[in-house]
Amino acid sequence: MRGVGAVLRKELSRRSQVFLVGGVAGVLALLGPWVPPLRGETANDARLLVATALAVAMMAGTALVHGATSVAGELRGRCLSFLFSRPLSGTAIWAGKSLAGLVLSLGGGVLAMAPVSFLAPGGLAWVRWEVAVWAIAGVVAVGTAAQLVGVALVSRSWLLVLDAVALAGAVGATLAVAASLWASEAPVVVAVAAVTGAAATLVVLLVASWAQVAHGRCSASRAHGAQSLVLWAGVACILVPLAGYTLFLRSATPASLRTVTTLQPGPDQWVVVAGVTRGRGDYRPAFLLDVASGQFLRLLPSEHSVLDLVFSGDGRRVAWLAPAGSSRQTWQVRLALLDIQPPEVRETPLVFSAKELPRRLCFSPDGSFLAFVEGRDAVAYRLEDWREVGRVRLYTPATARLAFSGPETIRVEQWKPGGGEEDGELTIARWELSSGRFTETGRVAADPTSFHLSILDLATNRMIVGWRTVGERELRLCDATTGEIRAVLGRWPANRVAGVLFLADGRLVLEARGKEGARLRVFDPAGHQLAELPAGERERVIPCGELVRGVVLIKTVDSRVGEGDPLDSPSGFLLELETGILRPLPAGRVPAVCGILWRWGGDRPRVNNLGARLLLTPLGAIEVLDPATGATRPLLGTDGQL
């Protein structure tokens, strides 16, 4: 330590004028309010801004100059032997010089900040440990890098060529790794990789500068050789594992999924799935997976990059919205389209700015047209040639809902505000793409406080609309074209009704909650109640899908405390509507399409489609239920037994 102190003292003696400059900069910062570009700021802010700028400049400049000259300058002037002919170890010389650079840089910066900090109200707000850590890291990085570059230039060795090649390679590899990591949209992984990489690089820089001094001693060429060897070996030791990890990250397959977090089944055997994989942090890869064969396509960089996703009715196509970079002004989104057979992602010409992000994607039944809400308009495209085939202005785009009711006919449902604050009506219109005709077919008078369930069953041309009266909610079964009320399904206290499911034979099932628990009510197609089934009398009983005709998958949830029976975990059941018999699903399984996995919206699964057969296990795995036998087959998750 005595050696370190001696070298530190010598370096400080030689460059003590840095403190004087820092002090002068601190006094100059008091003149901040008179700096023309800062006249709009308060005097306090102006002084702080100038002081901060001068402090940063002092620190960066001092670190740069000291780093570039403390060793390189002495090697060039043949002065380094003065220290090496004393009883000082190479490590002490390196540490003393490095510490001097840190003390000079930070000291200059602190002196530049000091007058304003003590004179201005709140001027000491910057005195925080995070600031200290960043300042030290920055000064060490700049100073050490400058030291390495300085010695490399002084040596004038052929190693400079090697350095240039290695630097280019390292920058290229770093950019490639960074781009790949960034595209994974896993902020924790990116942050950990960035912090680890930066810290490791800082350590490598320090070790290289130590090798330069301790092993190079008084020879510039030897110092250059030592630093190059350590630096590039160290950089390789950082980049190779990082690149390897990035490859590992991006090589995830559906079999790597440990827990499924997003599940979007198509009409038949294809499913879009995303989730957590082992050892990959918050990276959540998404795949298009063929449940039958296990064939998969790495669909998206991450589930986080999907803003909306929809299958076509025939299951041949998938469309989604994904970020497409950013311009100077705004963030951009591209509409992506995938033809499933054979799997091929098609580049589309549709790019939208963040202000006009499309919503409510919907395919025509055969997947030939795609419609969505864009800005204030509903717009439709023919996918064959990406031609816009129609565009209509909407009353309230935020409430609009589009659905193809025929090959080239779109049902448009939207809220039309009335003259008064609480007036308005739900309008239903038919939009014919071939002729461009937009015809209002029906309306449902309501006040804006009415909630709009908008459960639509196009097959039977019915919809359910919820009305709110004082303290209660009323569900009405309406004609989906005219809005005409067919039946009142019932009234329940507010927030006590949810979960409506249209069955294949026209009946409908809804969940109604009371003080004693939730029950399922079964209605005929005309809206007359056929039965009320206790279905376990849990707090919530959610109808999730129709497995086969007359058999409904339900999920029950209860947060109340039972006697000896933990009620709070969700459970899954098969309910036979005719008999009311409730059969539990295999231990802990619940229907996968209910709840948090249902990320991108869309309609509930139709009868006997893939979505109705997917079960979620307590560990987050996905299984497929065989409707005939009731047996389950593992599909995804918990160490990816596909």
Which of 84, 469, 526, 583 touches another protein (CB under 8 A)?
A: 84
Q: Which residues pair with 409 in a beta bridge?
A: 406, 432
Task: Look at the alpha carbons of 52, 55, 59, 65 in this order and tell me if their dihedral is positive or negative.
Answer: positive
Nearer to another protein, 223 or 535 (CB): 223
What whole-number distance in Å separates Cα of residue 578 and Cα of residue 192? 56
**To the nearest whole angstrom, how small is the minimum distance from the Cβ of residue 67 to another protein?**
18
Q: Is 156 in the site for another protein (CB under 8 A)?
A: no
Nearer to another protein, 51 or 154 (CB): 154
Q: Which residues pair with 468 in a beta bridge?
A: 473
Which of 18, 25, 59, 80 touches another protein (CB under 8 A)?
A: 80
What whole-number distance in Å separates Cα of residue 18 and Cα of residue 24? 10
Q: Are 294 and 259 in contact (CB under 8 A)?
A: no
Please choose, from the candidates 571, 515, 566, the residue with its C-alpha nearest in 3D space to the C-alpha of residue 542: 571
Which span (52-60, 76-84, 143-151, 258-266) binds another protein, by CB under 8 A?
76-84
What whole-number distance in Å separates Cα of residue 64 and Cα of residue 74? 15
Nearer to another protein, 88 or 322 (CB): 88
What whole-number distance in Å separates Cα of residue 336 and Cα of residue 348? 6
**To the nearest whole angstrom, how small is the minimum distance from the Cβ of residue 20 to another protein?**
15
Q: Is 393 in the site for another protein (CB under 8 A)?
A: no
Please choose, from the candidates 185, 236, 228, 237, the residue with its C-alpha nearest in 3D space to the C-alpha of residue 208: 228
Which of 2, 39, 328, 560 touches another protein (CB under 8 A)?
A: 2
- At 561, the amino acid letter reads V
**To the nearest whole angstrom, how small is the minimum distance from the Cβ of residue 93 to another protein?**
10
Which of 9, 278, 583, 633 touches another protein (CB under 8 A)?
A: 9
- At 194, the amino acid letter reads A
Which span (8-16, 225-233, 424-432, 474-482) binds another protein, by CB under 8 A?
8-16
**To the nearest whole angstrom, how small is the minimum distance from the Cβ of residue 9 to another protein?**
7
**To the nearest whole angstrom, how small is the minimum distance from the Cβ of residue 71 to another protein?**
13
Which span (18-26, 79-87, 395-403, 599-607) binds another protein, by CB under 8 A?
79-87
Nearer to another protein, 88 or 200 (CB): 88
What whole-number distance in Å separates Cα of residue 258 and Cα of residue 619? 9
- Phi/psi zone of residue 125: left (φ > 0), alpha (ψ -120 to 50 degrees), beta? alpha
Contact characters 458-497, another protein, x per CB under 8 A: ----------------------------------------
Q: Are 123 and 116 in contact (CB under 8 A)?
A: yes
Q: Which residues pair with 309 in a beta bridge?
A: 320
Which of 162, 218, 392, 567 touches another protein (CB under 8 A)?
A: 218
Q: How many residues bind another protein (CB under 8 A)?
A: 26
Say which residues have a Cβ less than 8 Å from residue 26's Cβ, sequence separation at least 6: 51, 54, 111, 112, 113, 114, 115, 116
Instruction: Respond yes or no on whether the N-terminal peptide bond of residue 342 is cis (omega within 30° of 0).
Output: yes
Q: Is 566 in the site for another protein (CB under 8 A)?
A: no
Q: Which residues pair with 573 in a beta bridge?
A: 554, 584
Q: Is 14 in the site for another protein (CB under 8 A)?
A: yes
Residues 88 to 147: which contact another protein by CB under 8 A?
A: 88-90, 92
Please choose, from the candidates 65, 232, 74, 220, the residue with its C-alpha nearest in 3D space to the C-alpha of residue 142: 65
Q: Where are the beta strands (DSSP E) in 301-446?
A: 308-311, 317-326, 331-339, 344-346, 351-353, 359-363, 369-374, 377-382, 387-393, 401-406, 409-417, 424-432, 438-445
Nearer to another protein, 92 or 309 (CB): 92
Nearer to another protein, 10 or 496 (CB): 10
Q: Which residues pair with 332 in a beta bridge?
A: 353
Q: Is 86 in the site for another protein (CB under 8 A)?
A: yes
Which span (74-82, 379-387, 459-467, 615-623) binds another protein, by CB under 8 A?
74-82
Which span (1-9, 24-32, 250-258, 506-514) binds another protein, by CB under 8 A?
1-9
Nearer to another protein, 225 or 266 (CB): 225
Nearer to another protein, 92 or 383 (CB): 92
**To the nearest whole angstrom, how small is the minimum distance from the Cβ of residue 123 to another protein?**
35
- Reduced to 3 states (helix: H, G, I; strand: E, B; else coil), residue 222 is helix
Burial 263-282 (b: 16+ CB within 10 A, else e): bbbbbbbbbbbbbbbeebbb
Q: Is 633 in the site for another protein (CB under 8 A)?
A: no
Which of 44, 196, 219, 441 touches another protein (CB under 8 A)?
A: 219
Q: Is 606 in the site for another protein (CB under 8 A)?
A: no
Q: How many CA atoms lie within 13 A of 194 on its CB side?
A: 12
What whole-number distance in Å separates Cα of residue 422 and Cα of residue 155? 81
Which span (50-58, 214-222, 230-238, 366-374) binds another protein, by CB under 8 A?
214-222
**To the nearest whole angstrom, how small is the minimum distance from the Cβ of residue 25 to another protein?**
22
Which of 79, 125, 167, 176 touches another protein (CB under 8 A)?
A: 79
Which of 24, 34, 43, 82 touches another protein (CB under 8 A)?
A: 82
Nearer to another protein, 14 or 360 (CB): 14
What whole-number distance in Å separates Cα of residue 224 and Cα of residue 157? 8
Q: Is 1 in the site for another protein (CB under 8 A)?
A: no
Please choose, from the candidates 135, 158, 160, 136, the residue with its C-alpha nearest in 3D space to the C-alpha of residue 148: 160
Q: Are 457 and 465 in contact (CB under 8 A)?
A: no
Q: Which residues pair with 439 in a beta bridge?
A: 430
Nearer to another protein, 2 or 39 (CB): 2
Q: Is 13 in the site for another protein (CB under 8 A)?
A: yes
Which of 36, 87, 325, 349 touches another protein (CB under 8 A)?
A: 87
Which of 31, 42, 81, 581 touches another protein (CB under 8 A)?
A: 81
Contact characters 19-58, another protein, x per CB under 8 A: ----------------------------------------
Nearer to another protein, 216 or 527 (CB): 216
Burial 468-489 (b: 16+ CB within 10 A, else e): eeeeebbbbbbbbbebeeebeb
Q: Are 409 and 442 in contact (CB under 8 A)?
A: no
Nearer to another protein, 36 or 87 (CB): 87
**Pairing mode of beta strands 571-576, 551-557:** antiparallel
Which span (49-57, 108-116, 216-224, 364-372) binds another protein, by CB under 8 A?
216-224
Which span (87-95, 273-281, 448-456, 587-595) binds another protein, by CB under 8 A?
87-95
Residues that bind another protein (CB under 8 A): 2-3, 5-6, 9-10, 13-14, 77-82, 84-90, 92, 217-219, 222
